[in-house]
Amino acid sequence: MSDETTDTVTDTTGETTGPPARPSRLGPRLPAFFCPIERDAVHPEAKSVEARAVAWLDAFDIYPDPVERAWGLATHSADFSCRIVPRGDPEALLLFVEWNYWANAVDDWQDSGADEVSTAAVTEHGARLLRTMENPGAGLLPDGPMTRALQDLLERTHALLTPYELRRFLEGTRDWLLGAAWQSAQAEHRRMPDLNDFAALGALANGTRFSLTWSDVAGGVRLPPDVLHAPALQALTDAAGFVVSADNDLFSYDKDDHVEPREVNLVNVIAHREGRTPAEAVPLAVALRDRVMGLFLRLREQLAAGADEALTRHLEGLGHYVAGSLAWQNRAPRYASPRNRHALPVEGARFDIRYADAPSDPEQGPPPLPALAGWWAHLRE
């Protein structure tokens, strides 16, 4: 039997808007997600922050035409940001929202498959972008709407963040750009990496530390460097990034399933390794994701024991990052009505996902992947 079964897009009223142009290789619906963390938290200023961010996008002409604007707004970057940061300073949150809209525009260029988007081009642009973020006056990027918007973001970001927060922000950006270059290299060489390489490198493009910097900035959380960079907390952060990346690989799978060779994501990596179809690889991907989620929950609880207020709030922020990302992707037309199936985003499109009461894999020990197994070493008996 083929794994390509018919799915439908559902709007917020529950009405179906018809089948997509072609069925999903993953099957009729996404698997249930194990996520026993508060899932419905959202910043009370979400609507006003979103309106201000959209006005900023329009003021800088980020999108060249109404169609690109529709797809840019379909990322629901404001919803993502306001779920990652459900409380805290609205001005810092606004900057985070605008950064996410801007970064998604860059990400769409990197993933466009256009002939000029080579690994060399992605790497060159990433290096110039990072140095511009460190030194906004360096004159390394061509003039245009994206560069002018970037300069505005940088001016406000450098004014708001402390030097230490700015360094965290830049390190998170470096992760994102490094991960994007690695993924581009795999595609250019028409190479599907092995699972351990993907586990170590694939989640970098998610920009976990980029997002967590803004979570702490908006919340006024200032951890000492020795606490923030302690090995156990870094392992917890990497585990959160892996879970969010695995979830995104499921939600975004249909958006990129027209790409040849197939996109480098968790499902395709496992399917290639095991000789399975994508639908057959989904339970294996979810099992690995759930095992890492279990590690995240146990290690976070361990670090919370005896934590001071700043660390407690940072750990809460990690939980909002994981659960908020899941809730956002469930509602984002970028994924629920992907561009390779729809001329325009379907308003209100969503997945209506289910939540699992228990992990799909009862095994709690480390997986046989060196890139991940070291995280379990930080658990106390």
pLDDT at 111: 60
With both helix axes pointing from N to C terminus, report the angle between 309-331 and 208-219 in degrees, rounded to the nearest 10.
120
pLDDT at 19: 44
Distance of CA 175 to the CA centre of its chain: 12
pLDDT at 107: 78
User: How many domains does the structure of the chain reveal?
Assistant: 1
Residue 23 within a domain:
no
Alpha-carbon gap, residue 309 to 312, rounded angstroms: 5
Residue 268 within a domain:
yes
pLDDT tops 80 at residue 16: no
Global pTM value: 0.92
Q: What is the DSSP letter of 16?
A: B
Residue 273 within a domain:
yes
CATH number for the domain spanning 49: value is 1.10.600.10
Residue 144 within a domain:
yes
| 185-223 tens-digit pLDDT | 998 899 999 999 999 999 999 999 999 999 999 999 999
Domain range holding 293?
34-342+352-378
Neighbours of 310 (CB within 10 A): 17
Residue 15 within a domain:
no
Neighbours of 21 (CB within 10 A): 10
Residue 14 within a domain:
no
Candidates 350, 354, 351, 338; CA nearest to 20 is 338
The CA–CA distances, whole Å, from 261 to 109, 256, 354, 368 equal 18, 11, 31, 27
pLDDT at 94: 98
Tokens representing 140 are: 């390394």
Residue 6 within a domain:
no
